[in-house]
Structure 1
Amino acid sequence: MIGIMKIGCFPYDTTRPLIESAGVETAATLPEIFERTVRGEFDVAELGLTFHLRLLEEGTPYVALPIFPNRVFRHSCVFVNTRSGITGPGDLTGRTIGEFGTYGQDSGVWAKGILMDEYGFEPETNRWVIGGLEHPSAPFGFIPHPHPGAVDVTPAGPGKTLNDMLATGEIDALFSANVPQCVLDGHPDVARLFPDFVARERDYHRRTGIFPIMHTVVARRDLLRDDPGLAGRVYTMFEAAKDAAAERYRRGRRLYQVQTMLPWTNALVDETLDEFGEDWWPYGISANRATLDTYLRYHHEQGLSSRRWQIDEIFAPDLLGT
C-alpha cells in the first residue's frame, strides 16, 4: 500500500483498476489534471512530458516516475485545410499552423520531430497560432511558454477557435492531440496530412522501435525523500493496473472481445501482440529508452528546453534500473 495520498490521473483502461480500488481523482480533461498538478494539488499525478520538462527549467517539487499512461502514434495528428494546397509534408513550409494551448504540446513535439527527421520540416518557417480547439481560450496560464526567437508564435485572439479557423482556412494546418470537430463532422475542406496514417505509423514503429510517449507520472520530491520505498510502490501499483487491463484484452481473445462494441477488435489485438509482443505498453526505463531519448532530443531541438535533458536527470534514481 502507498498510504493516504492524493493521486490524480485520467481514467484510461490502464488506470481504471487503480481508480476503482484506490479512490484516485480524475478530471473531465487532461489540461485540468495538469493544471491542478502544477498548482500542487496532488502528491502523485499524471503530467505531460513537456509540462514536466518546462517546470524542470524553473525548479519543480515533482520527480518523474517511468510510468506512461498515455502514448499515441502521431502521424495522425496533423490536419490540413485542403483548399490551402497542402498535399504532403513538403507543402507545410511557410504556412500558418494552429496548436492547442501551447507551442509544443506533447503531441506537437512528436509530430514536429518526426516531420523534421523524416521529411525535412522546419518549424521556424511557419507562423504558429495558439488557442483553444473547440472553445476560445488563451494559451495555458500555468506553464512557461518557451520557443526559439526565430519562431513566430501568437495567440489565436478573442472569440477564435482552432477548429473554426481550420475549417474556414484562416489557418492552413493544425497539430492537435484531439481530432477537431470539423473532421468528425466530415467537413469537405479538411483532411489529415497523412490519410494513410496507420500504414505510416506501423512502418515508423517497425523501423525505429518507437511507440511515442505523451505523459508520465510524477511524485512529490519531498515524499520520495522521506519515504525511500515510495517510488517503487507507486510504480508497482500503476504497473499492476496496466497489466490487469492488458490481461483483459488477452483473455477477451477467446470470446472475440465481445465485451466491446467494435467489430474486428479481436483481430487488432492479435496484430498488436504479433507486432509488439506480450507487453505492448511497457513501463520502466529499459524498454522505453530509445523513445525517451528521442523525445528529449526533439524537445531541445525545438527550443523548448535550454539544454538536452538526460534520462537519469528526469526520473527517480531508484527506478532507473526498471
Structure 2
Amino acid sequence: MTDPVLTIGCFQYDTTRPLFDGSVGVDGMDVTMETGVTLPEIFARLIRGAEFDVAELGLTFYLRLLETGLPYVALPIFPNRVFRHSCIFINTHSEITEPGDLAGKTIGEFGTYGQDSGVWAKGILMDEYGFKPEQSRWVIGGLEHPAPPFDFIPHPHPTDVDVTVAPEGKTLGAMLDSGEIDALFSANVPQCMLDGSPNVARLFADFEPLERDYHQRTGIFPIMHTIVVRRELLRNRPDLAHTVYRAFSEAKDTAADGYRRNRRLYQVPTMVPWMNALVERNSEQFPEDWWPYGTLANHATLNTYLRYHYEQGLSARQWKIEDVFAPELLDT
C-alpha cells in the first residue's frame, strides 16, 4: 500500500531545506516539495488555485482571507521571521532624518498596503516613535518591475489613510531613487540601494543595535509567515497537524544543529567572513532554540502582530491566537 501524497509549497530556507533534499520527511506521507521564484508566486498559487495541501503563507494574507472562509488553517510554524527596523528606506533629499519626519511624506509599499514587513515596520514605529500612518501618503506597486496591487487578496485600509497605485510603468525602487516617493517600506532591499545610489539610505543606518535592543526589551522576534494546511485533510487525518508540525520542526532543528556544529570549524561551509563570530554573539542574546515554533514561545510576538493588524485597519476585529491556529497545536 502506497503512502498518500502530500504536496507542500514553500520557499527554500535553511529551515526548510531538509524537507526539499529528503533528509527529513513527513511520517506516513509521500511528500512532493514545490517552490516559486518569489514568495508572492507561492501565495497566489495557493489562494487562486489551492494547488498545495500544505503551504507557506504570509500572516496578513492569511488573516485577510480568514474572514472570508479560507479552506486552510494555520499551523504555528514560522519559516520566515525578520527584524524590521532595517526595512525602511528613504530618499536622502527628502529631509527625513528620524521617524517623525515621515509625517506628510509619500511612502511606497510593495503589492498591498500592509505587507507583513510593513505591518511590523508601521507597528514598531507607532509603538516606539509615535508614528501615525494616516499622516503619510501611500503608493502601492512593484519593487523592481511594474506591477499592480496583488489581485488575489482583499485590500482593506482605514478610510483616513491615503492609498494610491503607482503610475503605470513605474517601479517603487526607481521612484525612491528619483525622489518621486520619499520613503519605502520593503521586505526586500531595493536594487538602487544595493547599487550604492547616493539618493537612497536606510532610515536607521545602524539598525542592528536598535533591533537587538528592541528584542531584549520586548522578547519579540517578528514573524512574517506561517504554514497552512487544508482543513479537509485535517478532518480526514486528525493526526496530520502534529505530523506536519514535527516534520517542519525537525527540519528547522537540523539547520540549527548545523550552525552549532560548524562553530568548531569557524563556519567554513559558508563563504561569509566572521559568520562564526555572529553565531557566537547571537548565542549570548538568544535562547538555545532561537527560532521557536509553536504558540507558547511566540505568544508575545503573535499577540503583537495581531494587535498591529487590527490597529492598522487590516482586520475587522482583533484576532486571538486561538482563533488563528489549529486548535490541536495550541499547546505547542
Task: Output the TM-score relative to the length of structure 1.
Answer: 0.99
CA distance in 1: counterparts of 2:132 and 2:69, whole angstroms: 30
Secondary structure of 2:80's counterpart equals: coil
AA paired with 1:53? L
For residue 308 of structure 1, the aligned residue among 284, 300, 318 is 318
- In 2, the alpha carbon distance for the partners of 1:306 and 1:179 equals 31
1:145 pairs with 114, 130, 155, which one? 155
User: Partner letter of residue 169 of structure 2?
Assistant: G
CA distance in 1, matches of 2:34, 2:137: 38
CA distance in 2, matches of 1:136, 1:54: 24
Matching of residue 198 in structure 1 with residue 208 in structure 2: yes
* Residue in structure 1 matching 2:166, options 151, 156, 169: 156
Displacement of 1:2 = 7.9
- Count matched residues: 322
Structure 2 match to 1:51? 61
Give me the whole-angstrom Cα distance separating, in 1, the residues matched to 2:223 and 2:190: 21
Per-residue deviation at 1:3?
A: 3.6
Q: Secondary structure at the match of 1:5?
A: strand
Structure 2: distance between partners of 1:98 and 1:178: 13
Matches within 5 A, 1:3-152: 3-21=4-22, 22-39=31-48, 40-152=50-162
Structure 2: which amino acid aligns with 1:316?
A: A
Partner of 1:184: 194
* Structure-2 change in CA distance of 1:51 and 1:2 (3 Å): farther
The separation in 2 between residues aligned to 1:204 and 1:15, in whole angstroms, is: 27
Give the deviation of 1:37 after TM superposition. Answer: 1.0
Mean Cα deviation higher: 13-22 or 136-145? 13-22
Aligned-pair CA distance for 1:14: 0.3
One-letter amino acid of the structure 1 residue matched with residue 174 of structure 2: D
Shift of 1:23: 3.6
**Is the Cα contact below 8 Å between 1:299 and 1:305 reproduced in 2?**
yes
Residue 174 (1) aligns with residue 184 (2): yes
2:218 alignment partner, one of 198, 208, 213: 208
TM-score (normalizing by structure 2): 0.96
Q: List runs of 5+ in structure 1 lacking aligned partners.
A: none
Amino acid at match of 1:54: R
CA separation in 2, counterparts of 1:45 and 1:157? 33
Deviations 1:80-133 (A, max 9, x none): 001010001010001100000000000000000000000000000111000000
1:262-296 deviation line (CA, Å, top 9, x unaligned):
11100111111111121000000110000000000
Matched residue type, 2:182 = D
Matched with 2:287 is 277
Q: What SS does structure 1 have at the residue aligned with 2:140? A: strand
- CA distance in 1 between counterparts of 2:323 and 2:235 reads 16
Question: Is 1:291–2:301 an aligned residue pair?
Answer: yes
Counterpart contact for 2:78–2:224, Cα < 8 Å: yes
2:264 to 254, 257, 263: 254
CA distance in 2, matches of 1:59, 1:185: 43
- Distance in 1, Cα, partners of 2:242 & 2:52: 18
C-alpha distance after superposition, 1:197-221 (max 9, x if no partner): 0010000000000000000000001
| 1:236 counterpart residue number | 246
RMSD between superposed Cα atoms in Å: 1.0
Q: Secondary structure at the match of 2:291?
A: coil
- Once the two structures are superposed, residues 246-270 of structure 1 have per-residue CA deviations (whole angstroms, 9 ceiling, x without a partner) of 0000000000000000111001111
Distance 2:195 2:67 in 1: 40
SS of 1:58's partner is coil
Query: How far apart, in 2, do the equivalents of 1:2 and 1:61 lie?
Result: 23
C-alpha separation in 2, matches of 1:36 and 1:166: 30
In structure 2, runs of 5+ residues without a counterpart are 23-30
Identity %: 72
Tell me the residue number matched to 2:26: none
SS at match of 1:129: strand
Q: 3-state SS of the aligned residue for 2:175?
A: helix
Instruction: Give the letter for the 2:10 counterpart.
Output: C
Please say which of residues 267-276 and 6-15 is displaced more in the overlay.
Answer: 267-276
Query: Which 4+ residue blocks in structure 1 deviate beyond 6 angstroms?
Result: none
Q: Structure 1 residue 144: deviation in Å? A: 0.4
User: What amino acid is aligned across from residue 20 of structure 1 in structure 2?
Assistant: D
Q: Secondary structure at the match of 1:83?
A: coil
